[in-house]
Structure 1
Amino acid sequence: MFQVPISLIISFICFLGKTKILEISKDTGFTVRRSKLLPDTIVKVFTFGLWDTPNPSLRQTASKCENIQRGLSITREGLFQRLATSALLLKQVFQSAVEYSAKRAITVQNLDVLQAFTDVKICDSSKVTLPDKLADVWKGLGGNNAKAALKIQTIYSLKSRTITNMELTKAPGPDAGYKDELLKHIHHGELLITDLGYYSKDLFRKIISKGAYFLSRIKSNTVFQIQNSDTKSFKALDLLSVLKNSSSVDIDVYFGTKYSKLLQCRLIGVRLPDEVANERRRKANKKAKSQGKTLSDYDLELLGWNLLITNAPAHMLTPKAACELYRARWQIELLFKACKSYLNLGKVGNCGKEQLECLLYGRLIAIILIFTVYSALYALMYQQKNRCISMMSFIKLIATKVEKIFSSLYATTEAISELRLILKRAAEQSLHDKRNRKTTVERLQEHYLLN
C-alpha cells in the first residue's frame, strides 16, 4: 500500500513554522511584538491562506491573519502599513523555498534516457498581466497589450521534477536577455532545453565553456556552415538539399556566418509523419495568407521536420532520443498552466506594488513547496507501482483541499495525519490511466543514451 513518509510532512510543516520563519525574517525589518502580527502568520496567509482567493482585498487578508493568530486584531490600514516589510519577508522566504526544494530533489533513477547527464533542465517564462497603475514599476509590452506586466522565468529539473529557480523579470525584451542569470544555474554535465525565445549563439557558447550541453529548436533563418574536409574552408549549408528524400539528419555544422565567430554543433532531426507535417503546413499557409505572404519551398520543407541543434555527442544523444527529450519541454508549460489555472498565479486584482509583491511571492512559495512534495511522491509512486502521477491532476486535487492544508500547517499529531491523508489521496487519484498511447516519460524510457 502506498504511504506518504511522515518525514516529508514534518519537513513541509516545519518550513512554514514559527521558528524557521523567525530565523529567515531577522534581516528583513519585520519586527516581532507581543500580540502583534507575527511573521509566520504573514507567510502562511499569503501562501496557502489566500490560494483560493483570486483577487484578495486587504480586508480579506487581515481577516485571514486574525483567524490563524490567536488574539490578533488588525485592520486593513494596519496591514497596509506592514506590506513593505512583509514583501521583503516573503521574498526572502521564497529564496529559501527554492534552496529547500533543490536540497530535497529526488531523482527518478529509472529514466535511463536521462542518465547521460547530471541533470536535464528546462527554462521557460510565463507572462503575468498586472494592474495599469503598476506600469511605472512593471512596464508592459506596449501596443494593444496591458500597460503593466512581468515575466516569471522558471528553471525546471526534468530529472528530479522540481523547480530549481523562479525569478520575476521585466516583460519587455526577448527571453535571451535572461541568459546571464540563467547561466548561473547551469552546471558541468547538465543539459539545458530551451525554446526559440532563448536562441542565442552567445548563450550556447557559454554553456559549452561550462562543460554543459544545450538542446534547442532552430530558427528558420539561421545560417549554418559546413567545413570542407580537404581545404578546411567553409561554405553555407544547403539545408533544403540535405532534407529532401531523407528521414533523419545528423551532421556537424557551424552556427553563424563566415564574418562572425563560428560555433560548432550538431544539426539533428527526424521527419514528421505526413499527417502531422500536412497539418502544420495548412496552419502556416493560412497564417501567411492572412498576412499577404507566400511560404517558400524551404519553409514548407522545414515544417515537415523536427530540427534541433545540440553540442551533445552522438553517443549521448541520438536524433530520435533528442526529439523525444525536447517534447518533454512541455512539462514546464503544464507547470505554468497548473499555476495559473489552480493556484491563481495571475489573479492579483487592482493592488499596489507592495501588495502585489506579497501576493506573487506568497503564491510562488506555495508553488515551490507543492512541486517539491509532488516530486517526492512522483518518485515514490514510480518506484512502488511503476506508474506516473499527472502533474495537472495532482495540483487540481490539491487546490480543492487548500483550506484543509491551510488549517494543517501545525506540528501536531492531528495536523500531520490530516495532511498525510490529503497528499496520499491526491497522489493515488492523480495516477495516469493505463492506456495504449504512451506518455512522453514512458517514451523517454525506450531510449538508452549511454553506450
Structure 2
Amino acid sequence: MTQLNNKTVLRKITQVFYGSYFNKIVDKYDGDYKTQHFYTRSHAIAMIYQQFSGTDSLRLLSCKAIHSSKIKQLMGAPSFSQLSRKNANRSSKIFEEMYYHLVDVAKAKLGLKIWNQQFNNIKIIDGTIVQIAASLAPKLEYKNGKAGIKVTTLYDFNRSIPAKINITPAKTNDRKCLEELFDDPQALYLFDKGYFKYKLYDKLTREGRRFITRQINNAHTKIVEEYETCSETLKDRKIWLGKSDKRAENQYREIIFYDEKNEEFKILTNDFVTPAEQVVELYKLRWSIEIFFKWIKQNLKIKKWLGYNENAIKIQIYSALIAYILLRLLHLELSPKISITLLRGLLQMNLLEHEDTITILSG
C-alpha cells in the first residue's frame, strides 16, 4: 500500500478495522475460515465504503473496486459473486459485535446532552420497518405481498446514538422485539403505545425501571385519585389499569393533555414524582428517535439491498449503523462548524482524497 493511499479519508474512517479487537471478532466467528480472497477486513471496508459513497448495488461496488487503484489497495477487487456470497454467508455477528464495540467507544467519547440534571439518562425505544420486495425475500413476507425487516432500536437520547438494536422479520410482534433493551435500571424509558402490555408495565415497575408511554385510546381505567394541575387542559390522576379480572398489578399515573390542534393525548407512567407538565415534555422527546430513523434512511443505504437473505440484510443494517457512529466520532474529532449531514456529504465527495482534505473542508 502506498503512503498516499494509506492516508486517504476512507483509510482514516476505517482504521478501526485494523486493530486487534476486530481481529479477535473475526477469529471468534471464523470469518476468514478457508478464505483465499476477500478477507473479512476487506469486506467490512467495502460495506463502509458502500454506505459513505452512496453506491446502490453490489455490481457497481465491485466495478468501482476493480477500476480504482486506491479502492483496490484498501479492500481488494472483489467480484460481484464474491461480494454476494460473503454477504449471504459470512456471519453477521462479526458486524454486530463491531457495532456494539463502537457504541462503547462512542459512549466514552461523546458528551452528554443533559435535558436537565434530574434526567441525564433517557432511553427511547421504537421500531421501524424497512421494506423489501416479497419476490426477492419470500421468507420475510409479512402481509399483502410485502416483505421487510423490523429494526427495534434503543436510542440513547443523551448521546444521540443507537445504543442497541434488535433486527427481526417484520411480522414479529412489537412486544417480542424488546428483549434486553431495558438494560439500565437507572434510565428513564420512553416508548409508544405499540408496546402496550400490562405485563410489561408491571415487570418494569417491579424492577424499578421508570417509563413514560402513550396510553391507548380504548384502555379500561378506574380513577383512584386526581391531582391538581396548573392548567384546565391538563389532567393528572392515579388509576387502575384494566378490568377487575384482568387488571395490572400496580396502580399507574395517567396524564391527559391537548395539543395546539386540540387533539387529546393520554400518557401513562409509573413515575408519581415528576410534575405533570414535565412528564408531557419528556414524552415529546420521543420524537428524536423518529428524526434519527428519518436521517438514517435519507443519508445511508438501507433502502436498496445488496442481498436478500436475513444474514445479508443484517450485515447491511449493522454496516449503516457502524457508518453512523464512525461519522459521529469523526464529527467530534474535527469539531467542525458544519452539521453532521454536511460532513457526510463532504465525505462522499472526498473518500479517496488525502485525509487532510476533510479537515480543511470541514473548517
**TM-score, structure 1 as length reference:** 0.67
Q: Deviations over 1:117-173 (max 9, x none)?
A: 451111111111113245443232x12x51x20111111111222221122112114
CA deviation after TM superposition for structure 1 residue 397, in Å: 1.3
Equivalence map 1:156-195=2 (5 Å): 156-183=155-182, 185=183, 187-195=184-192
Kept in 1: contact 2:187–2:209 (CA 8 A)? yes
1:73–1:182 distance in 2 versus 1, CA, 3 Å: closer
SS of residue in 2 equivalent to 1:356: helix
* One-letter amino acid of the structure 1 residue matched with residue 348 of structure 2: E
1:32–1:312 distance in 2 versus 1, CA, 3 Å: same
Match for residue 236 of structure 2 among 217, 225, 250: 250
CA deviation after TM superposition for structure 1 residue 357, in Å: 3.6
Q: Deviations over 1:397-425 (max 9, x none)?
A: 133223356437xxxxx62x444445x44
Equivalence map 1:129-208=2 (5 Å): 129-140=131-142, 142-143=143-144, 146=146, 148-183=147-182, 185=183, 187-208=184-205
Gaps of 5+ in 2: 1-10
1:272–1:130 distance in 2 versus 1, CA, 3 Å: closer
- Give the fraction of aligned pairs with identical amino acids, expressed as a percent: 17
1:92–1:158 distance in 2 versus 1, CA, 3 Å: closer
Kept in 2: contact 1:250–1:269 (CA 8 A)? yes
Kept in 1: contact 2:134–2:140 (CA 8 A)? no
Kept in 1: contact 2:215–2:266 (CA 8 A)? yes
- Looking at structure 1, the residues matched to 322 and 242 of structure 2 have their Cα atoms a distance apart, in angstroms, of 41
- Looking at structure 2, the residues matched to 404 and 35 of structure 1 have their Cα atoms a distance apart, in angstroms, of 32
1:29 pairs with 2:30: yes
- Looking at structure 2, the residues matched to 103 and 246 of structure 1 have their Cα atoms a distance apart, in angstroms, of 44
- In structure 1, the partner of 2:5 is none
State the superposition RMSD in angstroms.
Answer: 3.5
| Aligned residue-pair number | 347
SS of residue in 1 equivalent to 2:188: strand
- Looking at structure 1, the residues matched to 137 and 77 of structure 2 have their Cα atoms a distance apart, in angstroms, of 34
CA deviation after TM superposition for structure 1 residue 73, in Å: 4.4
* One-letter amino acid of the structure 2 residue matched with residue 98 of structure 1: V
Q: Deviations over 1:324-357 (max 9, x none)?
A: 2222111111111111111132221675555434
More off after superposition, 329-338 vs 397-406: 397-406
Kept in 1: contact 2:92–2:312 (CA 8 A)? yes
- In structure 1, the partner of 2:344 is 399
Equivalence map 1:48-447=2 (5 Å): 48-53=49-54, 55-58=56-59, 60-61=61-62, 63-64=64-65, 67-70=70-73, 72-83=76-87, 84-85=89-90, 87-109=92-114, 111-112=115-116, 115-117=117-119, 119-140=121-142, 142-143=143-144, 146=146, 148-183=147-182, 185=183, 187-227=184-224, 246-262=232-248, 263-273=250-260, 276-277=261-262, 303=263, 305-314=264-273, 317-348=274-305, 351-371=308-328, 376=332, 394-403=339-348, 406-407=351-352, 415=355, 417-421=356-360, 424-425=362-363
More off after superposition, 353-362 vs 193-202: 353-362
Kept in 1: contact 2:13–2:326 (CA 8 A)? yes
- In structure 1, the partner of 2:4 is none
1:56–1:34 distance in 2 versus 1, CA, 3 Å: closer
CA deviation after TM superposition for structure 1 residue 36, in Å: 3.7
- In structure 2, the partner of 1:43 is 44
- Looking at structure 2, the residues matched to 329 and 366 of structure 1 have their Cα atoms a distance apart, in angstroms, of 23
* One-letter amino acid of the structure 2 residue matched with residue 249 of structure 1: K
* One-letter amino acid of the structure 2 residue matched with residue 47 of structure 1: I
More off after superposition, 35-44 vs 123-132: 35-44
* One-letter amino acid of the structure 2 residue matched with residue 61 of structure 1: S
Structure with the greater alpha carbon radius of gyration: 1
- Looking at structure 2, the residues matched to 351 and 135 of structure 1 have their Cα atoms a distance apart, in angstroms, of 6
Q: Deviations over 1:270-307 (max 9, x none)?
A: 3434xx11xxxxxxxxxxxxxxxxxxxxxxxxx3x332
Q: Deviations over 1:251-275 (max 9, x none)?
A: 11121211124321111233434xx
Kept in 1: contact 2:125–2:154 (CA 8 A)? yes
SS of residue in 1 equivalent to 2:321: helix
- In structure 2, the partner of 1:448 is none
* One-letter amino acid of the structure 2 residue matched with residue 26 of structure 1: D
Kept in 2: contact 1:121–1:193 (CA 8 A)? yes
1:55–1:340 distance in 2 versus 1, CA, 3 Å: same
Kept in 2: contact 1:152–1:166 (CA 8 A)? yes
1:420–1:357 distance in 2 versus 1, CA, 3 Å: same
Kept in 2: contact 1:174–1:197 (CA 8 A)? no
Kept in 1: contact 2:167–2:314 (CA 8 A)? no
- Looking at structure 1, the residues matched to 237 and 12 of structure 2 have their Cα atoms a distance apart, in angstroms, of 49
1:259–1:103 distance in 2 versus 1, CA, 3 Å: same
Kept in 2: contact 1:32–1:38 (CA 8 A)? no
More off after superposition, 94-103 vs 119-128: 94-103
* One-letter amino acid of the structure 1 residue matched with residue 192 of structure 2: D
* One-letter amino acid of the structure 2 residue matched with residue 312 of structure 1: D
